[in-house]
Each structure stands twice: as C-alpha cells, then as structure tokens.
Amino acid sequence: MNQRFEFRSNANAGAFALAAAVMLVPANLLPVLDTQTSGNNRSDTILSGVIELWRNGLWAIAAIVFVASIMIPALKLAGLGWLLLKTRRGAPQDVGRLTRIYAAIDFIGRWSMLDVFLAAFLTGLVQFGEFSTVRARSGIVAFAAAVVLTVLATQAFDPRALWESPADSSP
Amino acid sequence: MTSPPPAKVSKAPSFPLIWVVPLVALAVGGWMLLRDLVNRGPEITIDFADGSGVEAGKTTLLYLGVSAGTVTSVALKPGLEGVTLCVRLDKSARSLARQGSQFWIVHPEIGFSGVKGLDTLVTGVRLNVIPGTGPVATRFKGLDKAPAPDVVDEGRAFILQCDRLGSLTTGAPVLYRELKVGSVEASRLSADSTSVLIRIHLEAPYVNLVRTNTRFWNTGGFSFKVNLFGAELKDTSLESLISGGVAFATPDALPLAPAAAEGAQFALASEPDKEWLKWAPKIPVAAPDSAYEPSGKSGILPALLRP
C-alpha cells in the first residue's frame, strides 16, 4: 500500500465518472429548490423548474438552465465514458478529434456549476419571511457532488493514453 | 562495486482504493432517494361540490392549527358535478388518511357573534380536517361546510321551543346573570311546523345551573319604555343585543329541582317575569378554568373570580 497515489490515471477517471453518474440520479429526481411566495409553495426538481420557466414564457432562461443543468452534465459524462472506452481498446484512429473532445469537456466543466450557484444565490438573497422564501433542498447537494465528481474525472483522465496502446500505458 | 539493493516490489492492491468513490456515491445517493421516499406522506383525493378559492400548491391542509399537507392539484370532475383535490399529506400527518376523516374548506366568516377564519382573507382558503378512525383510505368526500363543533368539553345540550326564532343566530350566547355560559348551536322548525326548536349548548362547568324547572327567555334586541315615572331601557350584553341571546334563571325554592338531562326541552319565553330575575339559587358549579383555582399564592383576584 506504500505505492504513491497516482491521481492521473484512467482507472481513477472511470471511478469518478461512475460516481458522478450515480449522483446524477438523485440530482435529477430530488427537488433542488423550495420557493414560497406569499403562501404559494413550490418544490422543484431541475426538470420541473425548466418546465415552469418555459410555461412562464422565459424561454431563453429555460433553455440556458436546460442546457447547463441537464444536457451538459449528461453529455460530459457520456463523452468521458466514450473516451475511456476508446483508450481501453487500444490506440484509436481519430486521436486528434478525441483530444479536441477532451479539451471541450474540460473547458465546459466549470459552467455546469451554474445551477448550484443559482440555488446558493437565491437561498441567500430571497429571505423575506412570509412574502418570499427560497430554500435549497437535497437535490442540489447531489447535483453539486455530480458536477465536482465530473470535474475530478476530467482532471484524472490522461489524454496521453489516447496515443498509447494499452500495452505501454502505465498501470 | 556494490550491487544496488534489490528493488522492493509492492503488489498493486487488488481492490484499487479509488473505487471507494463510486461506492460512497452509490450509498449517499441511495440514502438521499430513500429518505425522500420515506419522508413523503401519502397522497389523498377529496371530492368537493365547490372548490372556490382552492389553489394547487398554495392551499394547505391544517390540523390542530399546523400544516398537515398541501393541495397538489385541483381538477374538475369529468361530469362537472364538483371538483377533485389531490392533497399530499406530510409524513407526520399520514394517519389523517383514514376512513371517516372529514375535510372541509375554511372561508373567512364574519358574523355578529364572531369572526372565524380571518387569516384566510390574507392567506387564501385552507382545508381543515377532523380525523377519522377507520382503516386507511385515500379517497374522501369533502363536507360543504364546517361540521358542528365537536363537543370537546362535557357540556350539555338542551332544546328550547318558541313561536318564532327572533334574532337568535347560531353562536348567539346563552347567559346566566348576563355571564356567557353557553351558546346557540342550531335551530330548526318543529316537525309540525308550529314552533321553532333551538338547540343550545351549555359549557361543562355550568350544566348544573339548568334544572327541570328552569325558565328560559329571549334577550334579543332591546326595548325602550317610557311612562309617567321615567324611561326604562331593557338591555343585556352588547353581544346579545346584536346577535340575540338566551338567558335563563332557576327558581331558588328549596329543595332544588333535579338537574335537567341532556336534550331536555324547555319553552322559550319572549320576556322574563320580574320574579325570575330575583331568583338566586345556590348551585355549586365546577371551576371553568384551572387558572382560577385558589393555589394559595395567586392573591385575591383569582379568588374573587372563582365561581
């Protein structure tokens, strides 16, 4: 066990990605935000929040939240999983394209914290007692965990493995 | 030349430590979902003939003054003969979902004998419930109006008979020596429609004041008499002046007549005899409130208030 812990390894990336995928389930099923405005109580999951925004005519915001909170986390994990599978199969042909995908995933990662930021922001700001109160719910914690784990998975992924055959890649 | 020491080769752990991360994620995520599932109370549906003011996500179900659930959806019945409400009960209120539970919608009510549900003016209507004791159920038929108040105390009900109702309304006070000891609960026409029957309810401490020979009279309104020797204004409490009221007196002739039984019927006079007002029988009554019990150090005021 005195082996030095190597953070940058595809096994780690796979573990983090799997954990992130697991956390995405409660993140999408559990309510993330309770809003209470003059006696009107709502408990929203990410998806029901998007639907509500859409219904209220806020299409742009609905689209942003949908892309940032539902599409990007899912696409990121799917992309990462695909890259990991490719490296296991040996040096892929389209290395250049895969590397660009990796760069895109890495770049886009920070933006999926938008939802968490929004929830923290609203919870801190909107506290008007009887009139309007916003409370964060457990779903946002799962969502934050999923985002953090995805970022870790992206960081742990070693793009050099794309160029190596499984034989010469270090364990 | 010394040979380098043999390299220590450590075996990679058979179970990489990193795989603890997804396992922990699985445990935490599963626990979160499970907790949400466990904390969620049952959903019940209630049919009402009228659902004015009920809003999904806003109207709450109150029991004992605290929130016990929220209306999640409001829909008309397919035949348009009423509305169907879905209510998500809180976990702690799950035993309200029992057969025999009575639900009704509370609207603000402003009458002469009191204001009820005033808070619903601001917060919108709410649902109230009296829990049933039957087996678990999820479908209920709502009441059109609040059920008759549950007799929580051990009071006693009597029936008064009179020619016309006058200004007596539900909730009007029943007075003894102009002190409120009960209230009018309901009134209806007698079976042969020759008189009006009024049901009154006396609070528990005062039930012994009503004897079989007790006389009741109507105190509603006021009368104003002017004659040679001056003017006389007959009035009682302000409350009964507005909403009507019933007063009674019991003859003080000894021995006292036996206490009247539950549901005993009396005639309601429109005016008291002069003599009735002078009656002052000594009838022990129970203390209405433990706060008035002489506890020794509470001073003279509680002792004075003690009946």
A154-163, pLDDT tens digit by residue?
888 887 777 7
Q: What gap in Å lies between CA A43 and CA A99, rounded to an integer?
A: 41
Instruction: Tell me the residue length of chain A.
Output: 171
Cα–Cα distances in Å, from B265 out to A120, B212, B268, B306? 67, 9, 10, 30
Which tens digit of pLDDT belongs to each residue from B175-232?
Answer: 888 888 888 888 888 888 888 888 888 888 888 888 888 889 887 655 566 666 666 6
> Which residues in A lie closer than 8 A to residue B28 (C-beta atoms)?
23, 142, 145
For residue B281, the model assigns a pLDDT of 83
pLDDT in tens, B102-137: 888 887 766 555 566 666 666 678 888 888 888 888
pTM of the model: 0.56
How many angstroms from the chain centroid is the CA of residue B307?
26
Give residue B206's identity as a one-letter amino acid code.
Y
One-letter amino acid at B267 equals: A
* Edge-to-edge strand list for the sheet holding A40-44: A40-44, A33-37, A132-136
For the cut 80, the answer to whether the pLDDT of residue B145 exceeds it is no
Tokens 């019940």 correspond to B44
Nearest partner of B123 among B137, B109, B112, B108, judged by Cα:
B108
Residues of chain B positioned with their CB less than 8 A from the CB of A10: none
Is pLDDT of B80 > 70?
yes
In chain A, residues with a C-beta closer than 8 Å to the C-beta of B24 are 19
B16 contacts A23? CB cut-off 8 A: no
Is the previous residue joined to B255 through a cis bond, with omega within 30 degrees of 0?
yes
Residue of A3, A7, A16, A22 to mutate, interface with B, max B Cβ within 10 Å: A22
Q: List residues of A whose CB lies inside 8 A of any B CB.
A: 1-3, 5, 11-12, 15-16, 18-20, 22-23, 25-26, 29-30, 39-42, 138, 141-142, 145, 149, 171
Whole-number pLDDT of residue A92:
65
Q: Which tops the pLDDT comparison, B120 or B94?
A: B94
Q: Minimal Cα–Cα distance from A44 to chain B, Å?
A: 11
Matching residue, tokens 């029988």: B281
Taking CA–CA distances from A11, the nearest residue in chain B reads B18
Nearest CA of chain A to the CA of B142: how many Å?
A: 22
Chain A residue numbers touching B41 (CB-CB < 8 A): none
Determine if residue B178 is left, alpha or beta; phi over 0 gives left, psi from -120 to 50 gives alpha, anything else beta: left
